[in-house]
Amino acid sequence: MSSTLLNVPVMSLRLGAQIGTAMEPIINPHNLKILGWWCKAHNEAEELVLLSEDVRQIVSEGLVVNDVDALASAEDLARHKDILDIHFELIGKSVRTKDQRLGKVEDYSYNDGMFVQKLYIARPLVNLLNQSTLIIDRTQILEVTDHYILVKGTEIPDGAEELAGAPA
């Protein structure tokens, strides 16, 4: 879940110690891949970036990297400048279908490839009594914008309800 990506220690194999803290994940809104983390190093004033490709392992103690060189300045990562400048926030993003607002992203899960796999949607108060948390798989996502995430609706096409109730 997303909480395992927030405020986690960054551990160096070479030093055998913590070299910083991964504050929050950097998510590419175009493909919902976790590109890396905004980090705070112990002896640095500026916020640094740890790319997910530089993480050797994610363990209960934190993120394991080879050395402190895995932490880079955002200016040094020209290839990722566009994504870093966006500062995309997934938690709290509104989720909707073409016809209705479903709620806001409350949490998300990710897979081993560091792609967001499922969105957990907090329902509006009106729908809260009828249903629990709504779970959206990444295959249902149609579009991600600055203001909302558009997902496939779960509407039954006209005529399909008769077929669904018909005996086989």
Residue at 159 is within a domain:
no
Q: pLDDT digits over 121-144, tens only?
A: 887 765 545 566 788 898 999 989
Residue at 158 is within a domain:
no
Answer whether 151's CB lies under 8 Å from 97's CB: yes
Q: Are 71 and 12 found together in one domain?
A: yes
Cα angle value 15/19/20 (rounded, 5°): 165
Q: Are 24 and 50 found together in one domain?
A: yes
The pTM of this model reads 0.77
Q: Are 75 and 138 found together in one domain?
A: no
Answer whether 142's CB lies under 8 Å from 150's CB: yes
Q: Are 108 and 82 found together in one domain?
A: no
pLDDT of residue 116: 92
- Rounded to whole angstroms, how far apart are CA atoms 73 and 165? 60
Q: Are 106 and 146 found together in one domain?
A: yes
Q: Are 15 and 31 found together in one domain?
A: yes
Residue at 9 is within a domain:
yes
- pLDDT higher than threshold 90 for residue 159: no
Domain around 118: 94-151
CATH code of the domain in which 16 resides: 2.30.30.240
State the DSSP code for 151. E
pLDDT of residue 3: 74
Q: Are 72 and 30 found together in one domain?
A: yes
The tally of domains found in the chain comes to: 2
Helix (H, G, I), strand (E, B) or coil at 95: strand
- Which residue among 32, 64, 86 closes a domain? 86
- Rounded to whole angstroms, how far apart are CA atoms 130 and 120? 16
Residue at 126 is within a domain:
yes
- Rounded to whole angstroms, how far apart are CA atoms 53 and 17? 20
Residue at 166 is within a domain:
no
Residue at 156 is within a domain:
no
Q: Which residues contact 16 (CB under 8 A, 6 or more apart)?
A: none
CATH code of the domain in which 113 resides: 2.30.30
Torsion-angle region of residue 117: left (phi > 0), alpha (psi -120 to 50) or beta?
A: alpha
**Per-residue 3-state assignment (H helix, E strand, C coil) for 28-75:** ECCCCEEEEEEEEECCCCCCEEEEHHHCCEEECCEEEECCHHHEEEHH
Q: Are 6 and 76 found together in one domain?
A: yes
Averaged confidence pLDDT in the chain: 82
